[in-house]
Amino acid sequence: MKKILSLALPGLALLSAALPAFAQTPINVNTCPTGTAFGSLCLGANDLGRVIANGINFLFVVAALMALVFLVIGGVKWLTSQGEKEGIGKARETIVAAVVGLIIIFLSYLIVNFILNLFVGVSLFNLRLPTITGSQ
């Protein structure tokens, strides 16, 4: 019991000395600060395409990395199978699935870029969504 108290009391002392977070500071969300470090965080209507393109590119990279991890896992399974046919068969299945996954990822990326270039005239690196402008 003394050990628990000796560990808990310093923690409670640190928690009681916490400073306020000042979360009540009002933020004007309608204007973007110019010339500051936060200027890049302001997103307008034209930046939505860039956010979507970055999200799609990020998902493709994550999928490719996952396929590469499974490729390495298959290789480790093969090395640790010690020549057993069942272990080698499972490792081969993992490696084949990882390679097929990589091929599907790269082909889908190429197809998406081809369709965007063909019909919209943009690529995933500079995706611009159409905006409605008011008449003057």
68-116 pLDDT, tens digit per residue, is 999 999 999 999 998 899 999 999 999 999 999 999 999 998 888 888 7
Contact predicate 85/103, CB 8 Å: no
**Could you tell me if residue 62 is inside a domain?**
yes
**Could you tell me if residue 10 is inside a domain?**
no
Report if pTM > 0.75. Answer: no
CA distance 123 to 109: 11
**Could you tell me if residue 123 is inside a domain?**
yes
**Could you tell me if residue 31 is inside a domain?**
no
**Could you tell me if residue 124 is inside a domain?**
yes
Average pLDDT, the chain: 76
Name every residue whose Cβ is closer than 8 Å to that of residue 88 and which is 6 or more positions away in sequence.
Answer: 78, 81
Contacts of 87-93 with C-beta under 8 Å, sequence gap 24+, read none
